[in-house]
């Protein structure tokens, strides 16, 4: 799957939650967070400390659920 262009991301008008894992090996987390803040200025950008991409749902389900519930409220 190809990444959407910056123009398409900027055109997003719905609320967005960008949830990042600090220890992700798949992404450069500071770069992705900066890009999200630049392209989606109204988005909520959250980086979970000491989390990897795969550990969020399995090792931190309560925190994930809290963040999702707050965002969706």
Convert the pLDDT of each residue in 15-71 to its tens digit.
999 999 999 888 899 999 999 999 999 999 999 988 888 888 888 889 999 999 999
| pLDDT for the residue 47 | 93
Contacts of 33 (CB under 8 A, 6+ apart): 18, 20, 45, 47
pLDDT (0 to 100) of residue 60: 85
Please, how many CA atoms are within 13 Å of residue 73, restricted to the half-sphere of its CB? 6
pLDDT band at 1 (very low <50, low <70, confident <90, very high): confident
Is the pTM value of this prediction over 0.95?
no
């Amino acid at each position: 799957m190809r990444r959407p262009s910056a123009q398409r991301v900027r055109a997003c008008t719905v609320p967005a939650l960008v949830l990042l894992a600090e220890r992700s090996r798949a992404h450069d987390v500071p770069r992705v967070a900066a890009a999200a803040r630049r392209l989606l200025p109204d988005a909520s950008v959250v980086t979970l400390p000491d989390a990897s991409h795969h550990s969020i749902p399995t090792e931190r389900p309560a925190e994930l659920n809290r963040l999702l519930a707050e965002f969706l409220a």
